[in-house]
Structure 1
Amino acid sequence: MSLLAVHELAAARGGIRAVEGVSFTLDAGEALILRGPNGIGKTTLLRCVAGLQPAVEGRIEMAGDSVAYAAHADGLKAALTVTENLRFWAQIFGGGSVEQALAAMDLTALADRPAAALSAGQKRRLGLARLMVTGRPLWVLDEPTVSLDAASVERFAALVRTHLAGGGAALMATHIDLGLQEARVLDLTPYRARPGRSRRPAGFNEAFA
């Protein structure tokens, strides 16, 4: 059964179409990696799937409250410790084990450190560990390995594999080879929007562009 089905999707950035005619499905246990040059519309498409902006055209089918989204912002509260941040998100979502999330991204030794005192790479690891405590089956990830060193990239790839093995799915935009041989790749280049097409959907809100 598909956790996500995208049908003939057109997405706009700044009121201008970026991609159109995009269709794919994502089943439990599957990962799909979006590829294409900078500006092609990877982030825009992910934001549509995550419900952060409306699509111009097309249809997105998935269960309600099924998405955990991670992008360039790590979603951390600077005054809280690493553990407190994860507990906060676990309480919000009613998700998984904080201890397992700490171990998965090698954060146990930093458990009592305030998020404000973390390095950029440590903050990113904490932001990704947050995915584990959401309990959401569909992970939508925009360049998740930014600021990560090689060892942390491997840990993240292992995290994704565990998620897939547990019946989850992942939709990612990344230029990094994560070594996920099971992942499919979708190049968005053929879906680049043609000039002169309609630019704004009905009810389009520029604040979401």
Structure 2
Amino acid sequence: MTLRVNDLAVARGGVPVLNGVSFEVAPGTSLILRGPNGAGKTTLLRTIAGLQPALSGQIDGADETIAYAGHADGLKAMLSVAENLTFWAQVFGNSDIEPALAAYQLDPLRDRLAGTLSAGQKRRLGLARLMVTGRPIWVLDEPTVSLDADAVAMFAAAVTAHLGAGGMALIATHIDLGLNADTFDVTPYRSKSDMRSGASDEAFL
């Protein structure tokens, strides 16, 4: 199964931001989205993840295959680390949370309430959710926000293992994750109306 995006046009707040976007992400590979702040990366990822409709174009291979991680960590503050992962695992019909705890070194925190974690710890837990979904395509929007260098390395290792198992990753990031990945710059696909309006992705931060 390959994620295919063909001639996609997306809008933010009713204003077209990107037009004619086409790319593929094959099993075992990752694609890094580049572009300046406000260029439409978040809008594109949200559209591919099914969180908003496209203006036109086609997305193939996305139905029931995508796990999305945006700017929010998606945690329940009054549940423990282990309870949060168990909740998300059960949502996707899974039960084993131990690999996710190990990958992000969360086992010592497993009984801590999520609401008491630091920003970096919350981010690690939010990213660990991806591993319990069992879904092959990870769509990630600036996933390393709030992470220190060690945690970024944990994330990169988790993505590498996911790709090694035949998974796929589509990642918007400004930093070098050390992944063997192609890059896709959205800048040439920006809509003229969006550039005139000076709109940005800040509504989704």
Give the TM-score band, short-chain normalised: over 0.9
Please state how far the C-alpha of 1:97 moved relative to its aligned partner: 2.5
Distance 1:169 1:194, change over 3 A: same
* % same residue: 65
Report the secondary structure of 1:109's partner residue: helix
| C-alpha distance in structure 1 between counterparts of 2:30 and 2:126, whole Å | 20
Instruction: Kindly indicate whether the alpha-carbon contact (under 8 Å) linking 2:104 and 2:125 is maintained by their aligned counterparts in 1.
Output: yes
The correspondence for 1:193, drawn from 167, 191, 194, is 191
The correspondence for 1:184, drawn from 157, 163, 182, is 182
Amino acid aligned to 1:78: A
Aligned residue in 2 for 1:110:
109
Please state how far the C-alpha of 1:14 moved relative to its aligned partner: 1.0
Instruction: Kindly indicate whether the alpha-carbon contact (under 8 Å) linking 2:15 and 2:193 is maintained by their aligned counterparts in 1.
Output: no
Aligned residue in 1 for 2:85:
86
| C-alpha distance in structure 1 between counterparts of 2:136 and 2:86, whole Å | 19
Q: Which runs of 5+ in 1 are unaligned?
A: 197-207
Report the secondary structure of 1:163's partner residue: helix
Superposition pairs of residues 1-209 of structure 1, within 5 angstroms: 1-2=1-2, 4-95=3-94, 97-180=96-179, 182-195=180-193
Q: CA deviation digits over 1:163-191, x for unaligned, max 9?
A: 000010000100011010x2110001111
Please state how far the C-alpha of 1:94 moved relative to its aligned partner: 1.8
Over the aligned positions, Cα root-mean-square deviation in angstroms equals 1.3
Distance 1:195 1:64, change over 3 A: closer
Structure 1 residue runs of 4+, over 6 Å off?
Answer: none
| C-alpha distance in structure 2 between counterparts of 1:9 and 1:47, whole Å | 13
Report the secondary structure of 1:195's partner residue: helix
Amino acid aligned to 2:33: L
Instruction: Kindly indicate whether the alpha-carbon contact (under 8 Å) linking 2:120 and 2:146 is maintained by their aligned counterparts in 1.
Output: yes
State TM-score, norm by structure 2. 0.92
| C-alpha distance in structure 2 between counterparts of 1:101 and 1:58, whole Å | 35
| C-alpha distance in structure 2 between counterparts of 1:173 and 1:27, whole Å | 17
Instruction: Kindly indicate whether the alpha-carbon contact (under 8 Å) linking 1:10 and 1:55 is maintained by their aligned counterparts in 2.
Output: yes
State TM-score, norm by structure 1. 0.91
| C-alpha distance in structure 2 between counterparts of 1:64 and 1:6, whole Å | 13
| C-alpha distance in structure 2 between counterparts of 1:153 and 1:95, whole Å | 26
Aligned residue in 2 for 1:202:
none
Please state how far the C-alpha of 1:194 moved relative to its aligned partner: 2.3
Q: Which runs of 5+ in 2 are unaligned?
A: 195-203
Please state how far the C-alpha of 1:96 moved relative to its aligned partner: 6.1
Instruction: Kindly indicate whether the alpha-carbon contact (under 8 Å) linking 1:94 and 1:133 is maintained by their aligned counterparts in 2.
Output: no
Q: CA deviation digits over 1:4-41, x for unaligned, max 9?
A: 10000011111111110000011100100100001110
Please state how far the C-alpha of 1:195 moved relative to its aligned partner: 3.0
| C-alpha distance in structure 1 between counterparts of 2:163 and 2:93, whole Å | 20
Report the secondary structure of 2:133's partner residue: coil
Instruction: Kindly indicate whether the alpha-carbon contact (under 8 Å) linking 1:96 and 1:135 is maintained by their aligned counterparts in 2.
Output: no
Q: CA deviation digits over 1:65-93, x for unaligned, max 9?
A: 10100011101011100000001111110
Aligned residue in 1 for 2:197:
none
